[in-house]
């Protein structure tokens, strides 16, 4: 199928052509006609499927009748509201809006927390037809009366399941109550729990249901590998892998905010350009980190699941799970960034004995056993509890970014972590044994550092996007099959 068979306007097709797209992706083929026909839509699709263009292109087409080059703010009321769970996703969506609307005089703005409101207020005052926003900050604007929803015709809720995870549903309901009832609404979610269905019931009218990717399907072009290693030797193994392939750019997943910063700083000290991204970083820091990684300046981006969700990092061949996620589905989300569009990718997981339960859950979910590759020189025995041990992404009892305890409590059968004495040093391979700065891997790392604030609590200025304590995600029944990219 070709883009010009979809009925989009010549201006929009020109932008699609400029973006270098030749064929619509499966979600675009299904979603675009539904949205053009003015129907509500409930879409099952994950990031990486092309879903953003799937709703932005037809939305722009339908808004084109309002397009105006007039400088008057009155000619540019808010017509479309796109809600996203994280700043990063909101920014990416708004970037897409700008890309696809470049030949149409429609204006957009991105509204998110953690930054001064004044610039956003100034843009809203000038008039913007398309507002892409995170819910908390949008409500701040509602409170300050700096945004007006009277002319809203379209509402898009992107990554609704993540909105639910992050505790945004009350905010969403509040926003819904402020919108005109006569509007077209679209809801996208990778998963469909009962709560999402309930939300869809109040938000959508006779929606068309489309789906393109069965949740928990992983691309066949990805090579999965597990390296068993004690928690205390993980970072040395990571360093070994990085040194082994000096040209490799890697997205590394860690379970906690504190763990990401700590690992990233440690890698920097070992001479590896690295940056960390998590919910407590300022907006500028997060943007800079992502840019540094995308431009290749940073070789490694260490991220939490929440911060990485929705990141549009093209052609990323390597993902390393420094710690396995506590929710098995997040393994699929994490590696969704590699192996896109049939390209080859690697998903390597460093798995400590304490994480065996998580590994079993993941293998059950993806329905195959991941190859186990033991690397000589790395201890694989169960380690002591996290107290002050540098290799752990999080300390014992530290909360994950979603406010979960990083050491279990999710129905997985984790062995309780009990503090033991230091372990017998093991023979490390040369890349590890000769670390700069005379680092002794057998000694506790930064043991005297103060215990950080519990993860999951909002940092200053990040009120709306730092997720509150997250309820356990039910392993919801998904919509049916999806085409693999």
Interface residues with ligand AMP (CB under 6 A) are 21, 23-25, 28, 47-53, 312, 314
Give the number of other CB atoms < 10 A from CB of residue 285.
Answer: 15
| Residue 366 Cβ vs ligand AMP, minimum distance, rounded to whole Å | 20
Closer residue to ligand AMP in complex, CB, 49/464? 49
Contact 227, 375 (CB under 8 A): yes
Q: Tokens for 380?
A: 């694989």
Residue 253 C-beta: closest distance to ligand AMP, Å? 18
Helices (H) and strands (E) in the chain, counts: 16, 14
For ligand AMP, the closer CB: 158 or 323: 158
> Least CB distance from residue 110 to ligand AMP, whole Å?
15
Q: Which is nearer to ligand AMP, 5 or 440 (CB)?
A: 5
Which backbone phi and psi does 240 adopt, to 5 degrees?
-60, -45
Distance in Å, CB of 49 to ligand AMP, minimum: 5
Our CB check for ligand AMP shows the closer of 299 and 340 to be 340
Q: How far is the CB of 78 from ligand AMP (least distance, A)?
A: 22
Provide the edge-to-edge strand list for the sheet that holds 130-133: 108-111, 130-133, 80-83, 154-157, 184-189, 41-44, 208-211
Residue for token pair 């080059």? 69
Q: How far is the CB of 168 from ligand AMP (least distance, A)?
A: 20
Nearer to ligand AMP, 112 or 378 (CB): 112
First to last CA, the chain: 15
**Spatial separation of the C-alpha atoms in residues 346 and 291, rounded to whole Å:** 22
Nearer to ligand AMP by Cβ, of 25 and 326: the residue is 25
Characterize the bridge pairing of strands 154-157 and 80-83. parallel
When the beta carbons of 11 and 363 are compared against ligand AMP, the nearer one is 11
Residue 365: how many other CB atoms lie within 10 Å? 17
Looking at the Cβ atoms of 311 and 458, the one nearer to ligand AMP is 311
CB of 274 to ligand AMP, least distance (A): 24
Closest approach, Cβ 222 to ligand AMP, in A, equals 16
What strands, in cross-sheet order, belong to the sheet with 345-351?
274-277, 300-303, 250-253, 318-321, 345-351, 222-228, 371-372
Residue nearest to ligand AMP (CB): 52
The sign of the dihedral angle between the CA atoms of 146, 152, 156, 161 is positive
Q: Which is nearer to ligand AMP, 28 or 185 (CB)?
A: 28
**In sequence order, which residues have a C-beta less than 8 Å from that of residue 71 and are 6 or more positions away?**
none
Minimum distance, C-beta of residue 7 to ligand AMP, in the bound complex (Å): 16
DSSP 218: -
- CB of 217 closer than 8 Å to CB of 51: no
């Amino acid at each position: 199928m070709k883009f010009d068979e979809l009925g989009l306007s010549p201006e929009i097709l020109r932008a699609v052509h400029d973006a270098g797209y030749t064929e619509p992706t499966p979600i675009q083929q299904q979603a675009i006609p539904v949205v053009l026909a003015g129907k509500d839509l409930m879409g099952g699709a994950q990031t990486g499927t092309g879903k953003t263009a799937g709703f932005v292109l037809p939305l722009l087409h339908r808004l084109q009748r309002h397009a105006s080059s007039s400088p008057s703010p009155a000619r540019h009321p808010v017509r479309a509201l796109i809600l996203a769970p994280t700043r990063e996703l909101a920014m990416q969506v708004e970037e897409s809006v700008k890309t696809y609307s470049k030949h149409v005089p429609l204006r957009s703005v991105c509204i998110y927390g953690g930054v001064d409101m004044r610039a956003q207020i100034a843009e809203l005052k000038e008039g913007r037809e398309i507002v892409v926003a995170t819910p908390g900050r949008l409500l701040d604007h509602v409170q300050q009366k700096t945004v007006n929803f009277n002319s809203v015709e379209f509402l898009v809720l992107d990554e609704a399941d993540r909105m639910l995870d992050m505790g945004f549903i009350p905010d969403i309901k509040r926003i819904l109550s402020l919108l005109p009832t006569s509007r077209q609404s679209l809801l996208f979610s990778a998963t469909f729990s009962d709560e999402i269905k309930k939300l869809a019931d109040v938000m959508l009218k006779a929606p068309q249901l489309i789906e393109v990717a069965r949740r928990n399907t992983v691309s066949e072009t990805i090579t999965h590998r597990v390296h068993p290693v004690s928690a205390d030797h993980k970072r040395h193994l990571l360093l070994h892998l990085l040194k082994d392939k000096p040209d490799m750019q890697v997205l590394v997943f860690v379970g906690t905010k504190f763990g990401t910063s700590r690992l990233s700083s440690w890698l920097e000290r070992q001479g590896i350009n690295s940056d960390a991204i998590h919910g407590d970083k300022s907006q500028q820091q997060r943007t800079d980190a992502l840019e540094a990684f995308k431009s290749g300046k940073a070789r490694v981006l260490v991220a939490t699941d929440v911060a990485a969700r929705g990141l549009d990092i093209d052609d990323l061949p390597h993902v390393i799970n420094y710690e396995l996620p506590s929710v098995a589905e997040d393994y699929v989300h994490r590696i969704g960034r590699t192996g896109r569009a049939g390209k080859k990718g690697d998903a390597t997981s460093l798995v400590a004995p304490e994480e065996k339960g998580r590994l079993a859950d993941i293998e059950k979910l993806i329905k195959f056993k991941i190859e186990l590759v033991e690397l000589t020189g790395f201890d694989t025995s169960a380690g002591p509890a996290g107290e002050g041990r540098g290799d752990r992404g999080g300390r014992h009892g530290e909360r994950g970014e979603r406010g979960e305890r990083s050491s279990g409590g999710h129905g997985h059968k984790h062995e309780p972590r009990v503090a033991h004495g230091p372990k017998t040093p093991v023979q490390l391979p040369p890349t590890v044994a000769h670390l700069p700065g005379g680092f002794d891997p057998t000694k506790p790392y930064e043991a005297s550092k103060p215990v950080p604030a519990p993860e999951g609590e909002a940092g200053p200025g990040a009120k709306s996007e730092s997720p509150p304590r997250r309820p356990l995600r039910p392993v919801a029944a998904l919509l049916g099959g999806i085409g693999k990219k």
